[in-house]
Amino acid sequence: MPRTVREVVFVDGVRTPYGKAGDKGIYAQTRADDLVIKCIRELLRRHPDLPKERVEEVAIAATTQIGDQGLTLGRVAALLSGLPNTTPGYSIDRMCAGAMTAVTAVAGAIAMGAIDVGIAGGVEHMGRHPMGEGVDPNPRILSERLVDPSALVMGQTAENLHDRYPSLTKERCDAYAVGSQDKTAAAYAAGKIQQDLVPVATRHKDAGWGLASVDEPPRPGTTVEDLGALKTPFRPHGRVSAGNAAGLNDGATACLLAAEQTAAELGLPVGMRLVSYAFVGVEPEVMGIGPVPATEKALAKAGLTIEDIGLFELNEAFAVQVLAMLEHFGIPDDDPRVNMWGGAIAVGHPLASSGVRLMTQLSRQFAERPDVRYGLTAMCIGIGMGGCVIWENPHHADYQPSTKDVA
């Protein structure tokens, strides 16, 4: 039977405010699964015209899949979010690109015609589950010298990237990091970020009850001089510090995806349409370079060039990793198209959740920028990978809604 690949649209996305990992963080005594459940419930609340039984899949990512981030989290989260027990779910792990992979996996099922509507997201509670907890790496990785030992420590891979590209100095990275803090503060002041946030009730045995309504990590007013005084924990006299890298954080995201025809049928808004995506492998020792070949591959698949991209949402695991991509493509460090509302250096990076944060912000920016037709979300991935997803703006004059029949 002949089949037609269907267009996939990003309907909406939400996230919890991001917290600092550790005993004093806002989510110190909040379960990880409850964070992502809160996001799914908020998506359903925001779209009452979507019958719950029409949600046919829930894919949730977590890097450390144990404890309250384990037990086939997508299925458990679906059940506890109020979706019918006919809605299946599953878990995904691609480290930092977990939520990004959840999106592309669900999108693939929609494009193929297996489902019409799905939810994708991610969660990481780095306070409860530090990265690598319970992991037993195969000793052959090091004994057979398949990778350099530094590949297993993300901060060291960032230092390695500095070594490979001497032009990416600490001074440039610190300046970029200050810019991220400044843009985040400006976005908060303009009410840009708050629209994505789902308030979360919290409880702490010492602090009592609370309400998480804003991101905890940002440090508005940070200066280059402040960052210059910080220690470089991954190497004596190094270049990577707590100021020019994302912190250890807790938080969750979720988004609603649909076939374009189904969104029209149900009256769901279209935030953006998926154009192409790519994941690639690179040397694990310099995993931060991963977004470069991933972007090149995604652009080639789409028949586009970097000049066609009007907005960039790049995950700021480390400033050096973002600058490596910008320099490769000849984009200035302070280009206004890049991370308009700041990034993970300011708001945080709860590993597997971050991909959907990038997408949600790009979708909001598309609505404000009908002059921009294409944007991309990209990130580096631990153990030597990169990911990139290219999106089209439905508000652009040249956007043509799909008229293909449902497969």
Is the pLDDT reported for residue 143 higher than 90? no
Q: Is 255 a catalytic residue?
A: no
Instruction: Specify the CATH number of the domain 8-126+147-390.
Output: 3.40.47.10
Query: Which residues lie closer than 8 Å to 85 by C-beta, 6 or more apart?
Result: 79
199-216 pLDDT tens trace: 999 998 888 899 999 999
Closest CA to 41 of 74, 78, 7, 10: 78
- Residues 392 and 9: their CA atoms lie apart, in Å, by 9
- Residues 153 and 291: their CA atoms lie apart, in Å, by 18
- Residues 300 and 278: their CA atoms lie apart, in Å, by 10
Tell me if 61 sits within 8 A of 99, measured CB to CB.
Answer: yes
Q: Is 39 a catalytic residue?
A: no
Residues 43, 48, 51: CA angle, nearest 5 degrees: 95
Per-residue pLDDT at 295: 98
Closest CA to 27 of 279, 362, 365, 353: 353
Across 273-303, b (16+ Cβ under 10 Å) vs e yields bbbbbbbbebebbbbbbbbbbbbbbbbeebe
Going through 100-183 in order, the beta strands assigned E by DSSP cover 117-125
Q: Is 96 a catalytic residue?
A: yes
- Residues 7 and 260: their CA atoms lie apart, in Å, by 6
Three-state SS at 161: helix
Band the pLDDT of 404: cuts 50, 70, 90.
very low
**What six digits make up the tokens of 273?**
């349409």
Per-residue pLDDT at 85: 97
- Residues 74 and 18: their CA atoms lie apart, in Å, by 20
Q: What is each CA distance from 167 to 73, 163, 286, 330, 336, in whole angstroms?
A: 43, 9, 16, 13, 21
Is the pLDDT reported for residue 255 higher than 90? yes
**pTM of the full structure:** 0.96
**What six digits make up the tokens of 389?**
């997803």
DSSP 129: S
Is the pLDDT reported for residue 1 higher than 80? no
pLDDT, averaged across the chain:
96
Tell me if 155 sits within 8 A of 145, measured CB to CB.
Answer: no
119-136 pLDDT tens trace: 999 999 999 999 888 888
Q: Strands 200-204, 249-259: parallel, antiparallel or unpaired by DSSP? A: unpaired
23-81 pLDDT tens trace: 999 999 999 999 999 999 999 999 999 999 999 999 999 999 999 999 999 999 999 99
Is the pLDDT reported for residue 333 higher than 80? yes
Catalytic residue among 39, 125, 349, 388: 349
Catalytic residue among 39, 96, 173, 255: 96
- Residues 37 and 33: their CA atoms lie apart, in Å, by 6
Catalytic residue among 39, 173, 255, 380: 380
Across 113-146, b (16+ Cβ under 10 Å) vs e yields eebbbbbbbbbbbbbbbebeeeeeeeeeeeeeee
Band the pLDDT of 405: cuts 50, 70, 90.
very low
What totals of helices (H) and strands (E) does the chain contain, helices first? Answer: 12, 12
Per-residue pLDDT at 152: 86
